[in-house]
Structure 1
Amino acid sequence: MEAHFITGTGTDIGKTWLACALLRHWRAEGRRPAAIKPVLSGFDPLQPQASDAGALLAALGRDAGPAGLDAIAPWRFAAALSPDMAAAREGRRIDFDDLVAFTRRVVAAPQRPLLVEGVGGVMAPLDATHTVRDWIAASGLPCILVAGSYLGSLSHTLTALAALAEVGAGVTAIAVNESPDSTVALDATLETLSHHAPGIPRVAILRASPRAGVARLAGLLS
């Protein structure tokens, strides 16, 4: 399946960076990928190009103007908080049914490859009763789980996998971004994951030379 939900073990783990790298890889192959990030917090309307949605649009070769932003990120909030908190600060709420319907409409379109990027980590709250995990389950899409190699990442990654398994969400691959200044070797993280999540491909994304890892991940998504 060439449509995937890209989620992470937490915020600032590298979801958008990896999504952009995949989009550029596919475009370099002559393909016409698509991507959306429907929910976005920490958005500055004066600097839309600096947002995650702006980065995705740039990777797609599109302008970060109002039309482009509305098309891929209709739920935008100023506060850099969890989505439920960011929405509440503006007197708004995320209607979960509307979010799922929007996602399904995009998935139903023929353009592939397609990435649906989540917000925060797997269990980030969207409202009082739903988390990103519920959104993933409702979308019916398999996941790319983005993790790090920092101390503590193994617990975070395995917890995220367990949470996804509880709702029957499939995981196509675990992409392990090499964490800066980590005391844990990337290879050691991958090896431990091979014991605890043996059925899921693990892809190393090296900071100094990410291209090979991105290409391997792109191959797994085809």
Structure 2
Amino acid sequence: MPGVFVTATGTDAGKTYVSAGLIAACRRTAQHVDALKPVISGFDPANPEGSDTGRLLAALGEPVTPEAIARISPWRFAAPLSPDMAAALEGRTLSFDAIVAACRATLLPDRTTIIEGVGGVMVPLEPGRTILDLMAALAIPVVLVSPTGLGAISHLLTALDVLARRALAPAAIVLSETPGSTVPLKATLATLAGFCRRGDVFVLRRMAPSLQEPVFDAIRARLPDP
């Protein structure tokens, strides 16, 4: 498995936590692992350690240096907006082909690369191109992350339908528990049972976050062998 793409039903769903957890799971098996978040918005260069990119580097056990940040996230934007909007504010543009090429360059046979998307499945990258198009171009296993709050089921089923239309059935679906949600987790799982295979859905309880959570090893086991 040269790589896996971690996407979500929307922003702030827990993609980075899941990506970091998968990195940790790979490292526990002495598997050579790397990470890439090619595009990041809302990036504060004054606090790189607190960024998604910084968290991925921490999971890899690497120092958060300017060079490492540039390697993991070549396209960085300050505004917490969709990448096309954030780039426009800085007088810049994104090249879909360049992003695809950068991702493919990291998919090496001697390692597993965890590629984290930005926002949700349909976040625009350039006119007419979205994260969905990037995943389709890379054709690597997909992990879909969803919160569990009110409305999450509809968003998750919508994302699954969109992915299926591009032959991108997720290797794993991760329900990242929403703190304070009024929706019972058990009820969410019961509803999803009518739409998803039981073994495809994993629950990540965010009340006690740790990269040592056994669920990350279980998700890793669902992915193709390297």
On whether the aligned pair clears a TM of 0.5, the verdict is: yes
Mean CA deviation greater in 73-82 or 208-217 = 208-217
Mean CA deviation greater in 190-199 or 58-67 = 190-199
Letter aligned with residue 221 of structure 2: G
Which fold has the larger relative contact order, with Cα–Cα distance below 8 Å and residues 6 or more apart in sequence? 2
Alignment of 1:141 with 2:140, yes or no, is yes
2:56 corresponds to: 56
Alignment of 1:33 with 2:30, yes or no, is no
Query: 1:106-149: per-residue Cα shift (whole Å, max 9, x none)?
Result: 11x13433211000000111111111101110111121000011
1:2 CA drift (Å): 5.4
2:126 corresponds to: 127
Letter aligned with residue 222 of structure 2: L
1:26 CA drift (Å): 2.3
What pairs with 1:74-85 in structure 2 (closer than 5 Å)? 74-85=74-85
1:218 corresponds to: 220
Q: For the residues of structure 1 that align with 2:69 and 2:43, how far apart are their CA atoms?
A: 11
Residues 215 and 46 of structure 1: CA distance in aligned 2, closer, same or farther (over 3 Å): same
Paired residues of 2:35 and 2:115 also in contact (CA < 8 A): yes
Paired residues of 1:149 and 1:182 also in contact (CA < 8 A): yes
1:45 corresponds to: 45
Q: For the residues of structure 1 that align with 2:76 and 2:31, how far apart are their CA atoms?
A: 28
Please state whether the residue corresponding to 1:58 is helix, strand or coil. Answer: helix
Paired residues of 1:174 and 1:200 also in contact (CA < 8 A): no
2:15 corresponds to: 15
Q: For the residues of structure 2 that align with 1:182 and 1:146, how far apart are their CA atoms?
A: 16
Which stretches of structure 1, 4 residues or more, deviate above 4 A after TM superposition?
Answer: none
1:170 CA drift (Å): 2.9
What pairs with 1:102-117 in structure 2 (closer than 5 Å)? 102-107=102-107, 109-117=108-116
1:92 corresponds to: 92
Letter aligned with residue 105 of structure 2: R
Please state whether the residue corresponding to 1:126 is helix, strand or coil. Answer: strand
2:65 corresponds to: 65
Query: 1:40-67: per-residue Cα shift (whole Å, max 9, x none)?
Result: 0011111111111111011101122121
Alignment of 1:197 with 2:196, yes or no, is yes
Q: Unaligned 5+ residue runs, structure 1?
A: none
What pairs with 1:162-173 in structure 2 (closer than 5 Å)? 162-173=161-172
Q: For the residues of structure 2 that align with 1:93 and 1:2, how far apart are their CA atoms?
A: 29
Paired residues of 2:2 and 2:109 also in contact (CA < 8 A): no
Residues 111 and 57 of structure 1: CA distance in aligned 2, closer, same or farther (over 3 Å): farther
Q: Unaligned 5+ residue runs, structure 2?
A: none
Q: For the residues of structure 1 that align with 2:99 and 2:199, how far apart are their CA atoms?
A: 28
Letter aligned with residue 102 of structure 2: F
Please state whether the residue corresponding to 1:91 is helix, strand or coil. Answer: coil
Letter aligned with residue 155 of structure 2: H
Please state whether the residue corresponding to 1:6 is helix, strand or coil. Answer: strand
Query: 1:165-207: per-residue Cα shift (whole Å, max 9, x none)?
Result: 1222231010001111111122221222121123770001122
Please state whether the residue corresponding to 2:129 is helix, strand or coil. Answer: coil
Residues 209 and 13 of structure 1: CA distance in aligned 2, closer, same or farther (over 3 Å): same
RMSD: 1.6
Paired residues of 1:5 and 1:115 also in contact (CA < 8 A): yes
- The TM-score normalised by the length of structure 2 is 0.92
Letter aligned with residue 145 of structure 2: V
Please state whether the residue corresponding to 2:16 is helix, strand or coil. Answer: helix
